[in-house]
Structure 1
């Protein structure tokens, strides 16, 4: 945990220093501290790199899986959800000053690398870290096209990621091998994990399908067919390891090492966060168009 904390601190402070240096350089060049419509190329480059580092986007992503692996499930949940809000808000404010083609390339690279790098992982926290990198790629792409669409994508990402981390925390699941014993805790949680993983993979009619479909629709409308095709193909490896986790969760029988049907476990304190986010992760599909037109 100490190593993960040190890595996270160094990365975040370095990115914050780069943002301050970019603002100072831009003020020196333009004579004003406000964000203009166009910035100096050096300031734009530093700003883009800083946001990439804070969000864990490719190719500045190498710290992210290691930090999540060295953290507890609850801490990893906060890093994957809550800690994304401030950099994304900053990216939303500075969108007009950044190069959209660069952001699209970063989004595609993150989606591709997040899928391929997660294929050979056995630790659930590292798998979810690469899943987060891939989802951030989709989110940056959506932000380049339509900020309202990016808000919907962020909402669905948080509501799908939160119950997965909470379920893995409650069942003490750390590796793919532990997934096969999840049914010995409760079969209801086993089925819910199956559905949420399929929602993270973007399969209809679950919640995770609609943001990807709307992003594809927006890209095709703006004549970005090659980019949309590449982004879809980049999401296939992610879908593969979601299906693999689903297979290990529901279709694999755990070895019977004891004479009891269920594992010995301490009584956990019920929380309203898990059922609430689980319901949102599974049945928010009809609400998404309404949210899209409201924002």
Structure 2
């Protein structure tokens, strides 16, 4: 699946970026809802850029899930402030469910792995990074008054479900989708401490790690973990950088991905020990399928496609970016 650039793509990308900034700077729920609707309508043409049947199917799934989330968001936000609200105590919970649905977070994650497995790597990059920015900001900044027990349940559920379901996958896009769900558990854990900026910091570090990784996969057109074995004899440096990014995503020290997890553990140490154990177990399961990808990459391929050479040697900028994001950010965070 290739991603085709055109003037229409530039227009939709600019509209998508503008709508997200509008949502982040909105002052009322109606304007926020309108901005997120504009963002939805801007991203769907990007999903369908290759015009493949599976991408059309993925765009329909994405639209249905996001439309349901938008409807719940608008209804619950209006009913929360209406004097004629029915069951006003349920409206904040419905609002949180709507944001979780738009974010692709458990238990409203049913659409996210399916969409990720059917779209291009460029679309996966946008869906896993920029498209999560506005819903995550709403979740951590505007719904912090939610029940702490509910937030703890959502954080633990994301961590465990992302780890358990990810171990049973062979498609790289699906693995990365469940990996994203697992990382959402760590982001939600900061809500227990009323630290929304820490959630956004974790999200920023996560995006800095997946963007070069997804760009590697896009250039080499990889879909399964077994295809990564083609890199072994062609470019050991690319193999090293991909392994470093995956290990950093797993959160092993002293790489960048370890720092936000260490901060979460330190902050939660005196607050909620069971949640820390659940988050660490989920992270260990994530480490299992990351190592599985690395092991498959190190196994020599019997059917070597030498046409990949020109793509591998055409990625020095991605190697530099991966080095900076996976190792260079750690000293900055420590300072």
Shorter-chain TM band: 0.7 to 0.9
Name stretches of at least 5 consecutive residues in structure 1 with no aligned partner.
Answer: 32-38, 291-295
Structure 1 equivalent of residue 202 of structure 2:
153
Match of 1:139 among 181, 187, 200: 187
- Displacement of 1:30 in angstroms is 8.2
Match of 2:83 among 29, 34, 37: 29
Q: Does residue 49 in structure 1 map to residue 107 in structure 2?
A: no
- Alpha-carbon contact 1:156-1:281 (below 8 Å) kept: no
- Counterpart Cα distance in 1 of 2:265 and 2:279: 9
Root-mean-square deviation (Å): 2.3
Distance 1:267 1:214, change over 3 A: closer
Distance 1:18 1:189, change over 3 A: same
Structure 2 equivalent of residue 73 of structure 1:
121
Q: Does residue 58 in structure 1 map to residue 112 in structure 2?
A: no
Name stretches of at least 5 consecutive residues in structure 2 with no aligned partner.
Answer: 1-54
Q: Deviations over 1:73-124 (max 9, x none)?
A: 0001100001000101111331333222211110110110000001111100
Match of 2:166 among 118, 130, 139: 118
Q: Does residue 94 in structure 1 map to residue 94 in structure 2?
A: no
Distance 1:182 1:154, change over 3 A: same
The secondary structure found in structure 2 opposite 1:181 is helix
Structure 1 equivalent of residue 61 of structure 2:
7
With structure 1 as the length reference, what TM-score do the two structures score?
A: 0.87
Structure 2 equivalent of residue 165 of structure 1:
214
- Displacement of 1:247 in angstroms is 1.1
Number of aligned residue pairs: 279
- Counterpart Cα distance in 2 of 1:156 and 1:221: 25
Structure 2 equivalent of residue 34 of structure 1:
none
Matches within 5 A, 1:154-193: 154-193=203-242
Distance 1:184 1:74, change over 3 A: farther
Structure 2 equivalent of residue 35 of structure 1:
none
Structure 1 equivalent of residue 13 of structure 2:
none
Q: Deviations over 1:161-214 (max 9, x none)?
A: 111111111111110110111235532211100111000111011111111111
With structure 2 as the length reference, what TM-score do the two structures score?
A: 0.77
Q: Does residue 248 in structure 1 map to residue 312 in structure 2?
A: no
- Displacement of 1:58 in angstroms is 1.0
- Alpha-carbon contact 1:171-1:185 (below 8 Å) kept: no
- Counterpart Cα distance in 1 of 2:315 and 2:281: 40
- Counterpart Cα distance in 2 of 1:58 and 1:121: 17
- Counterpart Cα distance in 2 of 1:19 and 1:186: 48
- Alpha-carbon contact 1:171-1:182 (below 8 Å) kept: no
- Counterpart Cα distance in 1 of 2:149 and 2:248: 29
The secondary structure found in structure 1 opposite 2:75 is helix
Q: Deviations over 1:137-184 (max 9, x none)?
A: 111112332223212211111111111111111111110110111235
Structure 2 equivalent of residue 293 of structure 1:
none
- Counterpart Cα distance in 2 of 1:217 and 1:8: 37
- Alpha-carbon contact 1:4-1:70 (below 8 Å) kept: yes
- Counterpart Cα distance in 2 of 1:178 and 1:247: 12
- Alpha-carbon contact 2:232-2:299 (below 8 Å) kept: no
- Counterpart Cα distance in 1 of 2:253 and 2:311: 36
- Displacement of 1:40 in angstroms is 3.3
- Displacement of 1:6 in angstroms is 0.4
